[in-house]
Structure 1
């Protein structure tokens, strides 16, 4: 079912993320004095803005005038675990494939590169990850300066304009406050890097927002904050059935799920109202349904996803039991090893 994960799903958050990425891209190109290219991106930004708002952008705001020594800008995308932050960023980028061709293709010259921030992150390890993204290994004895000198060379050689650091909250979990300040200063420096300033996109848990606190320089650079919200009632009642039908159609299976029942609310409860987890569970259920004798997606397949992962019995499975609203699914979502649910109250 891996091919289903590559399918693009447009949501209001996806549109907002896409809009802000286009803005950051245009600003970074203007900062590099790549005027013609920047105007092309800005035109797409204005078109998308009009589609989202149902009207053209006011003329006073629609003209972007180049300014000497203007740095690039940043964007922070935040939300709870499983909300779909990474999914929103990657979907937004792939939707604009004419601007970002060959995204995440090793060795490509896509203008944006996504970097997975490792646990225990330092500025050196960020540089190592950048080099690794371009297939360039770094020797352990290389200094911080050497690592980032190579990283800058690779970024410029591949015409990179935007750098996306995913799981940015891990930066906040570094070993010392001094290291965090150092990383914060260096992120700011990336947006002012000589003739080739880089737009910065951070995505991660809300705790990562502390990176922007107590530092007016980096806070000034990050013009936008996009929060990936929990699923709303409309999302649950309208969007979830549509997503399930779409993925089932892509997998070429039938759907026998009573959407008018409380199923969609059970599903939202299991996934903690997080879109990313909701989609993962849908894809896993479809993977089970594909192997069934009649190739039809049913509630039982969603229940089997939970049963396989948790070992919970049917009378404690949120898709099947009567008191599903009282089952704490966070233990199912966050555990490293299966944990049984608490005993039922009598």
Structure 2
């Protein structure tokens, strides 16, 4: 295999990876956030300093939360920057480790472009955070992997996290909307404090179901095939393949996309003229190093395979 083929394949797959496919769950998330933005802008235009509200997106790992949130915030942030001439209307960051309130505040200050010694006390850091949020006219702060804010789950920790989030949303000088995304453990933070929960709209991304989402997954595969200029083989658009793909992805939306892109990559590398089941089988093998007898795209009784396991092979 020539370096030229490898290079061209990498370019094509990178372009496909950069493409975001809209889906029903994203449309709900987009509509909820659009209303939050509209209300915040309405308050600003009217000179009101009403408390801000937020949005929380939860779901198991691999359900596509981070990709959906990144696409959503990037689009809205660009629109606000262009129409309102704001520098950074939305600040987005992943909750750092260790996820202490002090370190989160320190990381948020750095995202705001302000450097400070980490030796400062937490109250001082968060006072600076609120000051710079106002100075930069930040409308929303997004915290990804937000469940880590209360990783120990103690009552004291939950109280401190809830208090910090409420303080930002109710700041009389410059209220800021809070956007949280994370695994279902995030829900514990909201359920711990009813005052915080009532200020948040919530969206949940479930794991995929072969019955409920089979056709959606097939549409996704066809969409990627069209953009790749690689027609799907007849069996690829059949419901049976959709079930296999969902199971091979451990019912995770994000992994469905990863396997589909990896299959397209294999087709490109092998000079195929269409995307076939063998390409998905190769992609699954590369991800898991499993024997063919544990490959959901090869065996008839694929539901017996635990798709969360790697290196699966027959005992000899």
TM-score by length of structure 1 reads 0.78
Q: Does structure 1 residue 229 correspond to structure 2 residue 206?
A: yes
Q: Partner of 1:29 in structure 2? A: 41
Alpha-carbon shift at residue 150 of structure 1 (Å): 3.7
**1:34 to 1:212, Cα distance in 2 relative to 1, 3 A:** same
Alpha-carbon shift at residue 169 of structure 1 (Å): 1.1
Measured in 2, the distance between the counterparts of 1:82 and 1:302 equals: 19
Q: Deviation digits for residues 57-114 of structure 1, max 9, x if unmatched?
A: xxxxxxxxx9x65311121111111111122222333454663458xxxxx8242221
**1:201 to 1:261, Cα distance in 2 relative to 1, 3 A:** closer
TM-score by length of structure 2 reads 0.84
Which aligned pairs between 1:176-191 and structure 2 lie closer than 5 A? Answer: 176-191=154-169
**1:139 to 1:299, Cα distance in 2 relative to 1, 3 A:** farther
Alpha-carbon shift at residue 252 of structure 1 (Å): 3.0
Alpha-carbon shift at residue 176 of structure 1 (Å): 4.2
Which aligned pairs between 1:101-180 and structure 2 lie closer than 5 A? Answer: 101=81, 109-174=87-152, 176-180=154-158
Larger helix fraction of residues: 2
Alpha-carbon shift at residue 153 of structure 1 (Å): 4.0
Alpha-carbon shift at residue 21 of structure 1 (Å): 0.9
Alpha-carbon shift at residue 267 of structure 1 (Å): 0.3
Q: Does structure 1 residue 340 correspond to structure 2 residue 312?
A: yes
Give the unaligned 5+ runs of structure 2. Answer: 1-12
Moved more, 144-153 or 3-12: 144-153
- Secondary structure of 1:170's counterpart equals helix
Alpha-carbon shift at residue 302 of structure 1 (Å): 1.5
**1:151 to 1:324, Cα distance in 2 relative to 1, 3 A:** same
Q: Does structure 1 residue 205 correspond to structure 2 residue 215?
A: no
**1:174 to 1:122, Cα distance in 2 relative to 1, 3 A:** farther
Alpha-carbon shift at residue 299 of structure 1 (Å): 1.5
Q: Partner of 1:39 in structure 2? A: none
Q: Deviation digits for residues 234-278 of structure 1, max 9, x if unmatched?
A: 664322222112222323333225122511100011112221221
Q: Does structure 1 residue 299 correspond to structure 2 residue 273?
A: no
Q: Partner of 2:294 in structure 1? A: 316
Which of 52, 55, 59 is equivalent to 1:72?
52
Q: Partner of 1:247 in structure 2? A: 224
Q: Deviation digits for residues 124-155 of structure 1, max 9, x if unmatched?
A: 22212223334544433232234334433443
Runs (4+) off by over 6 Å: none
**1:137 to 1:279, Cα distance in 2 relative to 1, 3 A:** farther
Q: Partner of 2:233 in structure 1? A: 256
Q: Partner of 1:238 in structure 2? A: 215
Measured in 1, the distance between the counterparts of 2:19 and 2:81 equals: 16
Q: Deviation digits for residues 200-233 of structure 1, max 9, x if unmatched?
A: 11111111111112422212211x2111123345
**1:225 to 1:254, Cα distance in 2 relative to 1, 3 A:** same
Q: Partner of 2:10 in structure 1? A: none
Q: Partner of 1:81 in structure 2? A: 61
Measured in 2, the distance between the counterparts of 1:135 and 1:299 equals: 49
Give the length in aligned residue pairs. Answer: 300
Q: RMSD between aligned alpha carbons? A: 2.6
Q: Does structure 1 residue 289 correspond to structure 2 residue 289?
A: no
